[in-house]
Structures are given as structure tokens and as C-alpha cells.
């Protein structure tokens, strides 16, 4: 499973002109289930992200988690994180999980993050979404569970 985590002041998702979700301070998490991912990958990733200390403490050091600040997470599916750009000019996405499996793993990740005590809002799997955010910092962190397995 791959995730791109951004510390945000706020973020929201619109689908077909309809505003479907939003958060204030917290994390925008773009998630891609990869072919062969197990449910355990999403659970472990959620646990890691919930504890990730990238928010400032009273001394201005990144020493607090999203849970510590009472923040929320906006979880958005993004199969393009599976892009293979090693050949030609058109990325390939065959490493992404098939849609049914991808949706199940994406929703499982969101549920696992909520089980960690983080309020979670989501995008709409498979939809053409407009995602707006105010990146705080900016702070952007990349996760790939295959690299840590």
C-alpha cells in the first residue's frame, strides 16, 4: 500500500460540483492499494500514520501526532500512486490493485485509521474528484508498505 501524507490546515473534496467532505487541521492522505496487498498492510499503515509526529509542539518542533492535536484525516483514493514511469512517456498503472480489491483495501485503511481514534472523512472511490488543500509547512511524507515489509 502506498500513501502520500500531507499536513494540512484544511482540505476538502468535491465530486461533480457537490462538496462531499472536508476537514480542518490534520492530514490529507492519498492512498493507493497495490496488487497483492493484504488487509494487514492497511492496518499497519494506519497505525504508523496515527502516531506520526509531524505537528509542532510548544517549542515549534515536529513532536506531536494528528491524534495529539485533535486533528482529522481526509483519506482519498489515488491509484496513480502506483505509476510506473520507467518506460516511455505514458505511466503504467498495472501495479495497482484491481478496482474491487482496491476499494476494499482503501476503505479498510480508512476504518483502521478511525479505529486509532482519528476522525476520518473520505473521498469517493473511483470518482473524478477535485481535492483542495492548504498544505501546512509544507510537510509531505511518502509511505510504501512494500519498502518496509
80 is catalytic: yes
79 is catalytic: yes
Active-site residue, from 80, 93, 140, 148? 80
Can you point out the beta strands (E) in the chain? 2-15, 18-23, 26-32, 55-56, 62-64, 72-77, 120-122, 129-144
Confirm if 106 and 75 have CB atoms less than 8 A apart. Answer: yes
122 is catalytic: no
Name 97's Cβ contacts closer than 8 Å, sequence gap at least 6. Answer: 33, 34, 35, 36, 37, 105
Active-site residue, from 6, 43, 55, 79? 79
Active-site residue, from 78, 109, 122, 143? 78
Give dist(CA 31, CA 3) in Å, integer.
4
Give dist(CA 140, CA 8) in Å, integer.
9
Q: Residue 74, Cβ neighbours under 10 Å: how many?
A: 26
Residues designated catalytic: 78-80
Amino acid at each position: 500500500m502506498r500513501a502520500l501524507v500531507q499536513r494540512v490546515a484544511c482540505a476538502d473534496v468535491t465530486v461533480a460540483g457537490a462538496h462531499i467532505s472536508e476537514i480542518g487541521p490534520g492530514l490529507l492522505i492519498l492512498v493507493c492499494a497495490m496488487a497483492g496487498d493484504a488487509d494487514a498492510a492497511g492496518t499497519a499503515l494506519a497505525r504508523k500514520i496515527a502516531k506520526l509526529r509531524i505537528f509542532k509542539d510548544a517549542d515549534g518542533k515536529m513532536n506531536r501526532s494528528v491524534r495529539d492535536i485533535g486533528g482529522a484525516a481526509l483519506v482519498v483514493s489515488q491509484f496513480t500512486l502506483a505509476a510506473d514511469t520507467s518506460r516511455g512517456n505514458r505511466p503504467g498503472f498495472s501495479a495497482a490493485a484491481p478496482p474491487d480489491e482496491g476499494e476494499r483495501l482503501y476503505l479498510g485503511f480508512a476504518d483502521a485509521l478511525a479505529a486509532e481514534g482519528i476522525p476520518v472523512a473520505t473521498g469517493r472511490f473511483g470518482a473524478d474528484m477535485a481535492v483542495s488543500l492548504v498544505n501546512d509547512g509544507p510537510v509531505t511524507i511518502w509511505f510504501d508498505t512494500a519498502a518496509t515489509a
